[in-house]
Structures are given as structure tokens and as C-alpha cells.
Copies of this chain bind each other. A is one copy, B any other.
């Protein structure tokens, strides 16, 4: 193809993102031509009940997949790649579940597969991890990669609202879907962290290996006590390199004020990448909205026309481990009777868990012990937690939330 031929783009899917992408393609056609030397042109749009995938494939040089889900998206994308068409997708489930197969098909077809919009919307985290930092030894990637839950937690912290009320408000504002399950239980964040872990550590990561907890059990109390301890609560995705292994997890977590992710509020996303040679780099911006996602997709189209892409080959086989150390916040509702603190401290001590701070709130029937532990093996902490739950003066199930202890700046 000569430099003056148009970039023929086939668009699969015509929902919110598809509509925003088609609009952006019109308004920014001049900018795309200035950046690439070629004018973009829509080769066809596949709607649910309209258009033929085969015809669009035939006419396209780049296929943009905005259907979502894995069926029929997986089949379409595989066929496009094998037929020698570049593919841009915003589909995190597709990439998280089928990365190996997709990258293999791209190699077979001699074409590029780009997916910047699949994680953290328009924040260029895929490009930065996969390209800028490709020769850097990344040790940890931490992210707030789900805007819905970050909005809910921000709302709970600011207004003291209960989880259900904050969720309702998020739904009113369009930040949460009618069925918010995948967002609030951490599954959405888990898919995104699987993708980031693969790029950062050059190893296959099965989605099933990503342990995830959600925010459904967070109580306004936790946020209130945390505020008094100077902490903020985030649903954090963390992918870490250990010796010969990695861990990839999603869990609610307290952060100290100096942590680069601690100021990220509302529906925003942010990703922090740590390595010995770069200390840490943090990128933040709006989570996935229609226009933002469309802008990320268009950026990928420009990149494809401008040059090669990294192949994201796996070159390591790293175990996924869950043998990890963490610091914990512990919230206990106890009967207000003599010796309670001593018994709790005894259980913790026998499990070799070191207490950093203790605060006791309330009196009478309603006494609460809020403690923050130093970092230690998670297994020991969970043993202690089980023992504590059995104590006769415990008036409710103990609540435990991880705390990131590391101090920044």
C-alpha cells in the first residue's frame, strides 16, 4: 500500500464506544493524516443485526473490535489476525483469557494486535509497560484499574454513606452498571491485572490464577477509623515479581497519605510501575468512558500505521505464588470486659504477629478494637484471625483489610 492510500478501518460493534470512535475518526481525520501521512476511512461497521463480517474483513486493513465479551469477538479477532489484518481491541476479557492464542495468531498473520483501551482507558499503561519499560526489570505493578469501585469507596469516605447507597449513587451517575457484580467483586480488575502482569513479567498469566476480593463487605466504620488513622481505602490490583515466581491479586487495601495512588479519587484510574532503575512511575487519568476509550483506540490505530509493535512474547515461565507477606488492619467488635485486649494480644503474639498501633473506640456493649499490624506472612495472620473469631467475647466476625506499609517520597 502506498503512503497516499487511505487507512481502511473495519469497525466491529456500534455501542457507546463504537459510536464515539466513529465520531472521533471524523473529527480527527486531519490529525491522523498529519501524524501518519494517510487519511482514515471507514471500511464498514458490523452491528448486531446488520453488516457482514466477511465483507468488512475483506475491505479492511485494520479491524477495530468493540463488541466486548469473548463470543463472537474471539472468533472475529482470530480470523482477522490470521487473514493478515491488524487488530485494535478494547476488550479486556478477550485479551485476559486468550492472550497466548491471540498473539500467536498475530505472529502467524505478520500483523499487530493492540489493546491500550483494555486497561485503564486512555492512560497509556500498555504502551509504557510494553514499550518504554520493555528493557527495565519491573518488580511491581500496582493499580486502581476499576473506576466504579474507586468512585464508591471515595463516596463512602467523603459522605459516610453505606456501601449500598454509594453503589446506588454510582448507578445514577452511570459509573456503575445495573448488574455491577464484576466491578464490585474485583473480577473486572483481575482481568486487567492479568494483562498488566503478562506484559510486565513476560509470562503467561491465567485469569484463574488471579485471586480477587471485592468491596462488598466494606463498612462505613472501616473508612471512618481509617480516616482517623490517616489512611485511604482503595481496591488495589498488585502484580509482583518474587524469586522465580509472581503474584497477581486484587483486594481492598489501606494506603498511607504519601503513597502515589492515595490521591486518586472518584471514577479515576491509576497505575504505578516500580523497578530498581526507575523507582516508581505513576500514571493516572479517567477510567473507561466512551470518548476516552475511543481516543485510546484511535491512538492504537495511529501506532499501527506509524510502525511496528512489540510482539509481547512470553519468555519466562513463572509460578504464581500466594505465599506472601502483608500488613493488616484488624477491626474487632468485642464485649467490654476486663482482659479482652490481653487475650487478643496473646493470640497475635503466639502467631508472631507484631502490632503497630491499637485504638479502642466506644464503651459498654459497643466496644471496638482497631489495630494495624506490621508486615508478616499472610498465613500466620489468617491463623490468628481464625482463632480470634472463636473467642467468646467476640460480638461480630472480625474484619481484616490489607495495608500498604511502604512509605513513599
Contacts and interface: CB of A to CB of B under 8 A. Distances in A.
A260 B268 CA distance: 11
Interface in A274-299: 275-286, 291-292, 294-296, 298-299
Interface size class of A (residues with CB under 8 A): 35 or more
Interface string A298-310: 1101110011111
A275 B294 CA distance: 13
A31 B127 contact: no
Contact of A279 (B263, B281, B292): B292
Contacts of A301: 135
A48 interface: no
Interface stretch (A116-124, A164-172, A238-246): A116-124
Contact of A310 (B32, B35, B202): B35
B286 A278 contact: yes
A303 B131 contact: yes
A299 B34 contact: no
A266 interface: yes
A308 B310 contact: no
Contacts of A122: 277-278, 281
Contacts of A266: 409
Interface in A296-339: 296, 298-299, 301-303, 306-310, 313, 315
A84 B122 CA distance: 35
Given A266-B409, A409-B268, A298 B135 contact: yes
Contact of A306 (B116, B131, B285, B302): B131
Contact of A292 (B24, B278, B307): B278
A389 interface: no
A132 interface: yes
A292 B277 contact: yes
A345 interface: no
Interface in A31-84: 31-32, 34-35
A285 B292 contact: no
A308 B304 CA distance: 10
Interface in A93-150: 116, 122-124, 127-128, 131-137
A265 interface: yes
Contact of A31 (B137, B262, B283, B296): B137
Interface string A332-360: 00000000000000000000000000000
B303 A277 contact: no
Contacts of A24: 277
A286 B279 contact: yes
Contacts of A306: 131, 134, 307-308, 310
A390 to B, nearest CB: 42
A380 interface: no
Nearest to A265: B409
27 contacts: A24-B277, A28-B136, A31-B134, A31-B135, A34-B315, A35-B135, A116-B132, A122-B277, A122-B278, A124-B128, A124-B132, A124-B281, A128-B128, A131-B299, A132-B296, A132-B303, A136-B299, A260-B284, A263-B263, A265-B409, A268-B409, A277-B294, A278-B285, A279-B285, A283-B284, A307-B307, A307-B309
Given A31-B135, A277-B294, 7 more contacts: A35-B134, A135-B298, A135-B302, A260-B284, A266-B409, A278-B295, A279-B292
Interface of A: 24, 28, 31-32, 34-35, 116, 122-124, 127-128, 131-137, 202, 258, 260, 262-263, 265-266, 268, 275-286, 291-292, 294-296, 298-299, 301-303, 306-310, 313, 315, 409
